[in-house]
């Protein structure tokens, strides 16, 4: 524990974060954070990345930690700045992403005056956070920061929100805190392993739902051993934080978004074994329909809870089953050719399979047009696949921004629908400023396509009012101009040939490029 009487709270906070391994800060600062900004300025070692809107900041922190496997800090301005970042913190919460979420706020003694920006900062932070604290003294804010990092990294990971009154920053007496030890990861129960083995040996149709850390390369290899030795059907939730996949890796289907399609696909399942997943449910309820994506009478079992060691659980289950090594199929023989002609979901998936750079990081936010992307790219070069996890649209471009900061040697490919892209389009500016190697494939269908399907499901014969509320094509958005306006080069593709050329060119250049794919 270092003590320096001349150090203020903000300096002790920055030094503690660095000591805890947090060296990247996504920021949208305001007046109450100026002492923190000044401390970042004086103390070397923290990479500060500016976002022009807080949803960019929080989504980038999510994308960063998914790839870096350690948290970034955010810097947000008061309750309303936090509020602007909440939707992507909700997604980070659902992704179980570690984030050290720092929110500057009114000085402790100014707060009772109810100045214009005063808001219920803690109340807004708590629902997305595994840990929430308002710092009270310069002497303890270093220790608060060390606790926040520890809490964010506690299995399975989450958002730790530290509210930072400005006087806590500027007061003298800051003390740098040492990193706290990692919180223990609970061991999987031997009973749970034996129960799962018994089910898998029973011959009953059994679904194994893999989520979170079970979707990484080593854990997937053990899941493959299990499936090869039994009749287990492996599946993942519809939305996942990060999946390692592509040639030479196990391809696992996702539970379909549509409950009807899911129940059809999973008809006959008798047992469901959860590995890091919570009990799957459809995104929404529909009148007279089940919320379960599998048969009503299937029995739920837990091999491992999200906070347990999922890799160990799968390895032990495979051993219990006596499952031997199960080689994965080698890569496809002849390379897939990029698709030609009309732009379809399947054609884009085919071109991605042919052209995706080795070790790309794919960020997908396209529920409707993107239906073929995930199943259609299992034979692409090895890559990671990141998704919107909490349904709060506007995650894609920020996730891509953060992933590119965390993985500067890999190409990031953002497959981004236009409706959701508009929520956080300011991320393009950060990509330009930081010269990030991101290829944005902007899927311009000029409507909220998923909602048109939902409206049809309501049984309505939609009139002008309804159609207008789901149509974002009047006027058409021009994404080439929007990207250029924020310093990102861009071009439009109206055929697969044009897309293939632009995509290959984009992936070979330094810095970001946006392809507006008119679909």
Nearer to its own copies, 312 or 478 (CB): 478
Distances (CA, A) of 251 to 234, 259, 372, 373: 9, 22, 14, 13
- Which positions from 409 to 428 touch its own copies by CB under 8 A, shown as an x/- string? ----------x--xx-xx--
- CA torsion 278→280→284→290, rounded to 10°? -130
Separation between Cα atoms, residue 87 and residue 392, nearest integer Å: 6
The pairing of strands 243-245 and 383-387 is antiparallel
# residues near its own copies by CB under 8 A: 100
Q: Which of residues 53-72 bind its own copies (CB under 8 A)?
A: 53, 55
Nearer to its own copies, 190 or 284 (CB): 284
Q: Which of residues 285-344 bind its own copies (CB under 8 A)?
A: 285, 287, 291
Which of 3, 69, 126, 505 binds its own copies (CB under 8 A)? It is: 126
User: What is the closest distance, in whole angstroms, from the C-beta atom of residue 243 to its own copies in the complex?
Assistant: 16
Q: Of the ranges 328-336, 347-355, 452-460, 501-509, which one interacts with its own copies (CB under 8 A)? A: 452-460
Q: Which of residues 139-168 bind its own copies (CB under 8 A)?
A: 166-167
509 near its own copies (CB under 8 A): no
Nearer to its own copies, 360 or 517 (CB): 517
79 near its own copies (CB under 8 A): yes
- CA torsion 467→471→473→477, rounded to 10°? 160
Q: Of the ranges 118-126, 193-201, 324-332, 339-347, which one interacts with its own copies (CB under 8 A)? A: 118-126
Nearer to its own copies, 107 or 130 (CB): 107
201 near its own copies (CB under 8 A): no
* Spatial CA neighbour of 200 closest among 232, 233, 235: 232
- In our burial notation (b when 16+ CB lie closer than 10 A, e otherwise), range 362-385 reads bbbbbbbbbebbbebbbbbbbbbb
Which of 2, 4, 23, 34 binds its own copies (CB under 8 A)? It is: 34
Distances (CA, A) of 447 to 396, 420, 468: 17, 10, 9
Separation between Cα atoms, residue 159 and residue 473, nearest integer Å: 36
Nearer to its own copies, 166 or 439 (CB): 166
114 near its own copies (CB under 8 A): yes
Separation between Cα atoms, residue 90 and residue 18, nearest integer Å: 26
Q: Which of residues 161-200 bind its own copies (CB under 8 A)?
A: 166-167, 170
Q: Which helix (H) or strand (E) holds 439?
A: strand 438-444
Separation between Cα atoms, residue 49 and residue 72, nearest integer Å: 11
Q: Residue 110 contacts by C-beta under 8 Å, 6 or more apart in sequence?
A: 166, 167
User: Which DSSP category does 307 fall into?
Assistant: T
Nearer to its own copies, 115 or 178 (CB): 115
433 near its own copies (CB under 8 A): yes
Q: Which of residues 260-279 bind its own copies (CB under 8 A)?
A: 278-279
Which of 4, 18, 50, 326 binds its own copies (CB under 8 A)? It is: 50
Q: Which helix (H) or strand (E) holds 174?
A: none
User: What is the closest distance, in whole angstroms, from the C-beta atom of residue 462 to its own copies in the complex?
Assistant: 6
513 near its own copies (CB under 8 A): no
The pairing of strands 299-304 and 159-165 is unpaired
HSE of 273 in the Cβ direction (CA atoms, 13 Å)?
28
429 near its own copies (CB under 8 A): yes
The pairing of strands 299-304 and 360-365 is unpaired
Q: Of the ranges 102-110, 143-151, 266-274, 323-331, which one interacts with its own copies (CB under 8 A)? A: 102-110
Residues in the chain: 519
- CA torsion 169→142→83→277, rounded to 10°? 180
Nearer to its own copies, 352 or 363 (CB): 363
Which of 178, 261, 342, 458 binds its own copies (CB under 8 A)? It is: 458
86 near its own copies (CB under 8 A): yes
User: What is the closest distance, in whole angstroms, from the C-beta atom of residue 308 to its own copies in the complex?
Assistant: 19
Mapped onto helix, strand or coil, the DSSP state of residue 469 is helix
Q: Which of residues 354-413 bind its own copies (CB under 8 A)?
A: 389-392, 394
Q: Residue 348 contacts by C-beta under 8 Å, 6 or more apart in sequence?
A: 339, 372, 373, 441, 496, 499, 517
40 near its own copies (CB under 8 A): yes
Which of 12, 239, 240, 241 binds its own copies (CB under 8 A)? It is: 239
Q: Of the ranges 42-50, 138-146, 317-325, 497-505, which one interacts with its own copies (CB under 8 A)? A: 42-50
* Spatial CA neighbour of 13 closest among 104, 122, 106: 104
Nearer to its own copies, 48 or 229 (CB): 48
116 near its own copies (CB under 8 A): yes
480 near its own copies (CB under 8 A): yes
User: What is the closest distance, in whole angstroms, from the C-beta atom of residue 333 to its own copies in the complex?
Assistant: 39
User: What is the closest distance, in whole angstroms, from the C-beta atom of residue 420 to its own copies in the complex?
Assistant: 10
């Amino acid at each position: 524990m270092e003590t320096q009487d001349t150090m203020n709270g903000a300096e002790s906070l920055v030094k503690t974060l660095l000591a805890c391994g947090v060296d990247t800060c996504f920021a949208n600062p305001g007046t109450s954070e100026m002492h923190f900004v000044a401390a970042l300025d004086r103390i070397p070692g923290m990479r500060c990345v500016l976002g022009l809107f807080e949803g960019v900041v929080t989504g980038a922190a999510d994308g960063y930690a998914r790839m870096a496997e350690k948290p970034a800090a955010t810097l947000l301005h008061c309750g309303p700045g936090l509020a602007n970042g909440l939707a992507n913190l909700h997604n980070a919460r659902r992704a179980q992403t570690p984030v050290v979420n720092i929110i500057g706020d009114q000085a402790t003694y100014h707060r009772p005056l109810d100045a214009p920006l005063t808001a219920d900062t803690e109340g807004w932070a708590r629902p997305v956070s595994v840990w929430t604290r308002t710092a009270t003294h310069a002497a303890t804010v270093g220790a608060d920061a060390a606790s926040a990092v520890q809490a964010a990294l506690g299995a399975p990971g989450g958002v730790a929100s530290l509210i930072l009154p400005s006087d806590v920053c500027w007061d003298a007496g800051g003390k740098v805190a040492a990193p706290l030890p990692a919180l223990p990861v609970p061991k999987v129960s031997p009973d749970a392993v034996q129960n799962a083995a018994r089910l898998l040996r029973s011959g009953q149709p059994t679904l194994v739902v893999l989520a979170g850390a079970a979707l990484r390369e080593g854990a997937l290899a053990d899941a493959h051993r299990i499936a090869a030795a039994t009749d287990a059907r492996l599946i993942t939730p519809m939305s996942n934080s990060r999946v390692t996949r592509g040639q030479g890796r196990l391809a696992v289907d996702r539970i379909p978004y549509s409950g009807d399609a899911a129940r059809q696909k999973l008809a006959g399942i008798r047992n469901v074994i959860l590995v890091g997943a919570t009990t799957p449910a459809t995104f929404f309820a529909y009148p007279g329909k089940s919320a379960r994506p599998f048969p009503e009478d299937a029995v739920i079992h837990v091999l491992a809870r999200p906070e347990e060691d999922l890799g160990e659980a799968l390895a032990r289950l495979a051993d219990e089953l006596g499952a031997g090594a199960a080689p994965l199929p080698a890569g496809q023989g002849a390379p897939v050719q990029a698709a030609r002609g009309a732009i379809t979901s399947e054609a884009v998936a085919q071109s991605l399979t042919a052209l995706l750079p080795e070790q790309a990081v794919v960020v997908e936010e396209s529920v409707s047009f993107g239906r073929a992307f995930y199943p259609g790219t299992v034979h692409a070069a090895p890559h990671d696949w990141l998704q919107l996890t909490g349904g709060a649209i506007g995650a894609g471009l920020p996730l891509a921004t953060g992933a590119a900061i965390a993985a500067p040697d890999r190409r990031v490919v953002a497959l981004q629908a236009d409706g959701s892209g508009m929520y956080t389009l300011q991320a393009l500016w950060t990509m330009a400023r930081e010269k990030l190697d991101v290829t944005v494939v902007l899927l311009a269908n000029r409507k909220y396509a998923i909602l048109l399907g939902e409206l049809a499901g309501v049984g309505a014969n939609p009139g002008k009012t309804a159609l207008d509320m789901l149509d974002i094509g009047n006027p058409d958005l021009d994404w080439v101009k929007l990207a250029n306006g924020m310093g990102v080069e861009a071009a439009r593709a109206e055929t697969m040939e044009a897309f293939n050329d632009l995509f290959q060119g984009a992936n070979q250049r330094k810095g970001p490029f946006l392809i507006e794919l008119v679909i």
